[in-house]
Amino acid sequence: MTPAHRILKCATLPLFAAGAVTSTACAQSAPRVFDSQRHRFKVVVVAEGLEHPWGLAFLPDGRILVTERPGRLRIVERDGRLSAPLTGVPTVFARGQGGLLDVALAPDFARSRMIYLSYAEPGNDGTAGTAVARARLSETGLDSLRVVFRQQPKVTGGSHFGSRLVFARDGHLFITTGDRQRREYVQDLSRHQGKVIRIQPDGTGAPEIWSYGHRNIQGAALHPETGALWTVEHGARGGDELNAPRQGKNYGWPVITYGRDYSGASIGEGTAKAGMEQPIHFWDPSIAPSGLMFYTGDRFPGWRGSLFVGAIGFRLLARLELDGERVTTEERLLQSLGDRIRDVRQGPGGDIYLLTDEGDGRILRLEPSPD
């Protein structure tokens, strides 16, 4: 492998934290340095040896929770060591794009120790659907796990599960779902495919459809000033979208889209129709966006206010400058790194963290680099 793909030299060592068995201790070589329009920055490997990591969350003590799509949840120590897989994780449908997906801390995590997981939940006869469970985190695993949302109906196939988790400022939980390649379900408000769902965090009450007409939302974040939900979703061949979904609004899929079918055939009725919303921004050709983050930190002052989008198709990190709800500039970063960027998050200190969706996936950290 080239230095861009193998920056750590690792050995398996015993880890004596409660419940952990082995870990990876790594010696780090020189980080890669990149230039952007506003900053020079370096890419530091935090951890590696993860199998298709999908989501991460920062614990108050500086450690990181990370999911692996085959169904493992781990804690990353501050020195980059990986815990043994935590116990108590729900059984997942680990086929195709399915598996263990996002992770989020409850807003009152410091008191409750509750976390939320989204995942592809297996059903009967090979079916599956996006589900969300919550549980109490201990040093060894998860306790008192309970499912708080199940996408209905479950269907066959291993594609288009979504799914990101975002807590709104009022305490509700947003859940993004994919269409599960059942286009005919997306405009049907009796089904959960292709919707943004809003629920009470304990799962009580009927799940509420916040917005619909979505294809496969794999990035979501709250706007730091307005508190509004923003999302990115996969189009077909072209037509990836950036949206700020409003309650009760229809975002068009599969009736309107800026993409075409993979065969080259047209989809739906065109790019616009009365009663259906237009995206804030779209990508053609598709970048396959996954992960979404508004940057608010002090480590990169020239990036403050930018929107960052991971891309698993074009293997890059997109930085968007905004004027209200209008994209004025797009800068494409890390293209020479060659990794599928699955998630992007702002760390507690203002650095930027990425997950690479590979069989030997990594957690990367972007830090300022002196000129």
Residues with catalytic roles = 160
Between CA 261 and CA 289 the distance in angstroms is 18
Contacts of 323 (CB under 8 A, 6+ apart): none
Query: What pLDDT, on a 0 to 100 scale, did the predictor assign at position 28?
Result: 52
CA distance 163 to 145: 19
pLDDT of residue 25: 42
The domain defined by 31-368 folds into Neuraminidase (2.120.10)
Prior bond of 3 cis (ω within 30°): no
Helix (H, G, I), strand (E, B) or coil at 9: strand
Q: Residue 139: what pLDDT?
A: 85
- pLDDT for residue 249: 98
What does the block give as tokens for 56? 């991460």
Taking CA 239 as the corner, what is the angle to CA 241 and CA 164, rounded to the nearest 5 degrees?
A: 40
Helix (H) or strand (E) holding 185: helix 183-186
Closest residue by Cα to residue 186 from 219, 233, 116, 244? 233
What pLDDT, on a 0 to 100 scale, did the predictor assign at position 21? 34
CA–CA separation, 318 and 307 (whole Å): 8
CA distance 363 to 318: 17
Task: Give the amino acid at 351.
Answer: D
Pair of tokens at residue 302 = 């020239």
Question: What local confidence, expressed as pLDDT, does residue 205 receive?
Answer: 79
3-state helix, strand, coil in the chain (%, to 5): 5, 45, 50
Token couple for 196: 């943004």
Strand partners, 99: none
- The domain ranges of the chain are 31-368
Residue 250, CB-side half-sphere exposure with 13 Å CA sphere: 14
| pLDDT tens for the chain, residues 1 to 371 | 333 333 333 433 333 233 333 344 444 557 899 999 999 999 999 999 999 999 999 999 999 999 999 999 999 999 999 999 999 999 999 999 999 999 999 999 999 999 999 999 999 899 999 999 999 999 889 999 999 999 999 999 999 999 999 999 999 999 999 999 999 999 999 999 999 999 999 998 788 999 999 999 999 999 999 999 999 999 999 999 999 999 999 999 999 999 999 999 999 999 999 999 999 999 999 999 999 999 999 999 999 999 999 999 999 999 999 999 999 999 999 999 999 999 999 999 999 999 999 999 999 999 999 86
Strand partners, 9: 27
Comparing C-alpha atoms, which of 187, 73, 169 is closest to residue 119?
Answer: 73
C-alpha count within 13 angstroms, C-beta hemisphere, residue 186: 26
Tell me, what's the pLDDT at 207?
Answer: 82
70, 312, 359, 291 alpha-carbon torsion, rounded to 10° = -50
**What distances in angstroms separate CA 24 from CA 33, 84, 191, 195, one per listed residue?**
25, 10, 43, 39
DSSP assignment, residue 117? Answer: E
